[in-house]
Structure 1
Amino acid sequence: MADIAVFHPDLTSRGGGEAVCMNILDTLEEDHTVTLYTIVSPDFDGLNEYYRTNVSDVGVDHFGPVGSALATAGAVAAEYADVTFGRLQSSILNRYLDGRDHDLIFSTYNEFSFDSPAIQYIHFPNFGVSRNSRVYRVYDRICDVIDGFDKSQICESTLLANSEWTAGVVEDVYDVRPDVVYPPVDTAGFEGAPWSDREAGFVSIGRVEPSKHVLRNIEIVSRLHQRGHDVHIHHIGPVAHDGYAQKVSEAADQREFVQLEGALPRRELVDLVCSHRYGLHGKKEEHFGMAVAELAAGGTLPFVHDSGGQREIVDRRRELLYQDVDTAVETLDRVLGDPARQERLREALPDVEALYGRTRFRESIRDTVDRVLES
């Protein structure tokens, strides 16, 4: 049994990174003493229900009211200035953790400069990626000073990445290629209805914010309507940006074939995916795309932007990739009008449970931790 620190600044956003963290906590607490270092006090009851985990024996070291204030400030900055405080929160937490005595530190939120033996799960590199904005460059420099960034320490850690695409980005930055451990996709309950019984519509999943391009998804389906396709779209996900959500709501109100579902309970999300034929994902350069994997697990044909790690989930099939609204409409028009092509694409999609399931993820994490502790 080892004493392991897990590093994750904020579990409240409930995205793919938080799924990784909760599954790692659930895995490690079985055999080790685990302490979670975080900014905001986690609601483990709610998180366990949301992610179908059973985290119950983990110590927590958090910032209390100060952490809540940082999280609130980050939400306000994201809403009104399109700037997130994630990197700043991480840098503060990194400095706070500096010097703590643990056998192993496991970062589930990208890479940081740790003196102790460390495993670092990278969703996308924090450091070394150029930014065009002068404000962001200054912001990054401030964060570097706070957390004492040391590139050599990162390269000495055991690095994991959430996709081959992300691993390539990390290699460009650090000249070290991480091992790829795909995130844990919860495939429970995804038992799709026969294709003939499914509705000829789309499901999209993700927070309602600009990076998810919900408005573009609506425009794509609208133009398919103009070409004579009787399709609709359900968008599932909580509001994360009030101004953008208002625009999305106005667009939906003008189109009877658009339904905004909000943050559905897990069972309802699964049922909706499994009763529809198609998925549509709007985010560009998605680092992996757990929502895309869920759409595939549910038996839909998921159409995704031709960038990032999400292409790996659809096996880089050209018929499932698009670059903009125009190419999306052309591609979907061809596929929707060709039942034989749809059948071929469905048969070619990967086995989501085998490649991306939770059992595979947890086995990989156990093996990695054991290897690092032994060395």
Structure 2
Amino acid sequence: MARVAVVHNTLDFHGGADVVCLSVCEALQRDHDVSLFTLSETPPSVLAERFDIDLDARRIDVPSPRGGTAVARALSTIGPVVGPQLPLRSVLVSRFFEREADAFDLAVSTANEFDLSIPSVQYVHYPQFRLNRIPDASGALNPLWSRVAGPARNGFDDVTPLANSSWTADVFERVYGVEPAVVHPPIDPIEPRADWREREGGVVVAGRIAPDKRVLDAVEVVDGVRRRGHDVHLHVVGTAPRSYRRYVERVESAADERPYVTVERDVSRTRLDELLGTHRYGLNLKPREHFGMSVAEYVASGMIAFAPDSGGQREVLDEREDRLFGSVDEAIEILSAAIERDRPPEQSSARFGRARFREEICEHVDRALH
């Protein structure tokens, strides 16, 4: 049994990265002593229950720096004004971890790449440092954060880099000259599921209700499909972190104006699975999604999924032209066409299972330890 530190910037955005973090903790705690270093208001147990992750939170040590919870709360409070500040959170967490690093045999980052002082496995959703090497990347302060906590281009001698998709792996290689192995996030087949003919002809948008997810564009898509004569409705169902509360209010205002749009915030896993298992169509609107866990969940529940024609979600949808779009107008077109065809989906629901994820993560950790 080794002492393993999982390093994660924050659990407060309730998204796919947090599912990966807690799934890694769950996988490793079977054979190792696991501590979780994070800067979060949200306890791991809360998200483990929400995402139906079989984590024994009582066995996870969660060290907290002095004032850490207050800092996390303050960052969430100012989030609507200054943004989520994920690189800053990463820097703070890495500095906190480094004070304790000598007590551990291995670190596992589930919050992208770091310059850490001990051997590590680093799971990259998308590079967070050295963004000047990526065309059109944003972040005026990124050079500062990169100097403080980012690895050098040749700084991966004791690092096992992993990526959530082949697309992300390609971006990472362009930045650092190292090609990560691809370990897709964990998505089990979702049950129970209704037969295609018994499903409602509605659209579900699941995940964080946040500006980068472009949820309001989903409302526009459904408006356009209805103008074409299709009686579809929309369920927006997802987490509503405090940092995005102003955007959530805009989404709820749009729903209040439309009897065919409903918004459900912070629902249970049972309720989400019920919606996914009883509706026909799943829609994602975020371009350049690094993987697209909501898209994978749509597939895992037997829905027909649609997403922008960019990022890792193209892999999830097998690069099908009739599932991918480049604009709101194209989304209206392909969703309308699918409704008119009325054919059930053909993709396997078991491609991204949790057992596969656990096995791959444990293999990489065991190799790094030996």
Indicate the TM-score class for this superposition, using the shorter chain for normalisation.
Answer: over 0.9
Shift of 1:338: 1.5
Equivalent in 357, 366, 370 of residue 370 of structure 1? 366
3-state SS in 1 of match to 2:131: coil
Q: Higher relative contact order by CA 8 Å / sep ≥ 6: 1 or 2?
A: 2
For the pair 1:124 / 2:121, whether they are aligned, the reply is no
For 1:273, the aligned partner's letter is L
Kindly tell me: are residues 135 and 161 of structure 1, through their superposed partners in 2, closer, same or farther at Cα, counting changes over 3 Å? Answer: closer
Give the whole-Å Cα distance in 2 for the aligned partners of 1:234 and 1:249. Answer: 11
Q: Structure 1 CA distance, aligned partners of 2:216 and 2:41?
A: 33
Q: Structure 2 matches for 1:234-313, cutoff 5 A?
A: 234-240=235-241, 241-313=244-316
User: Is the CA contact 1:70–1:89 (under 8 Å) kept in the aligned structure 2?
Assistant: no
* Matched ranges for 1:37-48 at <5 A: 37-40=37-40, 43-48=43-48
Partner of 1:25: 25
**Alpha-carbon deviations, 1:55-111, whole Å to 9, x = none?**
2322221224x2223223322343023x22211111122122226212111111100
1:135-162 CA distance string (max 9 Å, x none): 932x223323433643432464100000
Q: How many residues align?
A: 363
Compute the TM-score of the two structures, normalised by the length of structure 1.
0.91
CA, structure 1 residues 366+235, in 2 after alignment: closer, same or farther (shift >3 Å)?
Answer: same
SS in 2 for 1:208: coil
| Pairing 1:118-157 to 2, within 5 Å after superposition | 118-130=120-132, 136-137=139-140, 139-147=141-149, 149-154=151-156, 156-157=158-159
- CA shift at 1:307, angstroms? 1.0
**Is the Cα–Cα contact under 8 Å of residues 115 and 153 in structure 1 kept in the other structure?**
no
Range moving further from structure 2, 154-163 or 103-112: 154-163
Which residue matches 2:324? 321
Partners of 1:91 and 1:179 lie apart in 2 by: 24
Q: Counterpart of 1:335?
A: 338
Secondary structure, in 3 states, of the residue corresponding to 2:306? strand
Per-residue CA deviation, residues 259-300 of structure 1 (Å, 9 max, x unaligned), is 112221111111111111111111111111111111111111
Letter in 1 for 2:81: Y
Worse-matched range after superposition: 10-19 or 104-113 = 10-19
Judging changes above 3 Å, is the alpha-carbon distance between structure 1 residues 85 and 5 closer, same or farther for their aligned structure 2 residues?
same
Instruction: Provide the residue aligned with 2:182 in structure 1.
Output: 180
Alignment-mate amino acid for residue 366 of structure 1:
C
**Unaligned regions of 5+ residues in structure 2, if any?**
none
Per the TM alignment, residue 49 of structure 1 is displaced from its structure 2 partner at its CA by 1.4
Between 320-329 and 238-247, the greater mean CA deviation after superposition: 238-247
**Which residues of structure 1 form unaligned runs of 5+?**
none
What TM-score, normalized to structure 2? Answer: 0.92
Q: Residues 283 and 305 of structure 2 are in contact (CA less than 8 Å); yes or no, is this contact kept in structure 1?
A: yes
Task: Report the counterpart of residue 225 of structure 1 in structure 2.
Answer: 226
Q: Following TM superposition, where does structure 1 have runs of at least 4 consecutive aligned residues deviating by more than 6 angstroms?
A: 131-135
Deviation at 1:242, TM superposition (A): 2.4
Partners in 2 of 1:366 and 1:94 — Cα distance?
A: 23
* Residue in 1 that maps onto 2:163: 161
Residues 9-48 of structure 1: CA deviation (Å, up to 9, x unaligned): 2223221111111111111111112222222365233233
User: What is the rounded CA distance, in whole Å, between the counterparts of 2:235 and 2:31 in structure 1?
Assistant: 42
Partners in 1 of 2:284 and 2:35 — Cα distance?
Answer: 35
Say whether residues 1:79 and 2:80 are aligned partners.
Answer: yes
Aligned residue type for 1:124: Y
Preserved contact between residue 165 and residue 309 of structure 1 (Cα < 8 Å)? yes
Q: What CA distance in whole angstroms lies between the structure 1 residues aligned with 2:183 and 2:138? A: 33
- Seen in structure 2, the aligned counterparts of structure 1 residues 352 and 180 have a Cα distance that, compared at 3 Å, is farther
Which position in structure 2 is the counterpart of 1:203? Answer: 204
Change (3 A) 1:148 1:12: closer
Counterpart AA for 1:212? K
Change (3 A) 1:219 1:134: closer
Would the alpha carbon gap of residues 135 and 185 (structure 1) be closer, same or farther in structure 2, given more than 3 Å must change?
closer
CA 1:50–1:372 in structure 2 vs 1: closer, same or farther (change >3 Å)? same
Deviates more, 1:84-93 or 1:36-45: 36-45
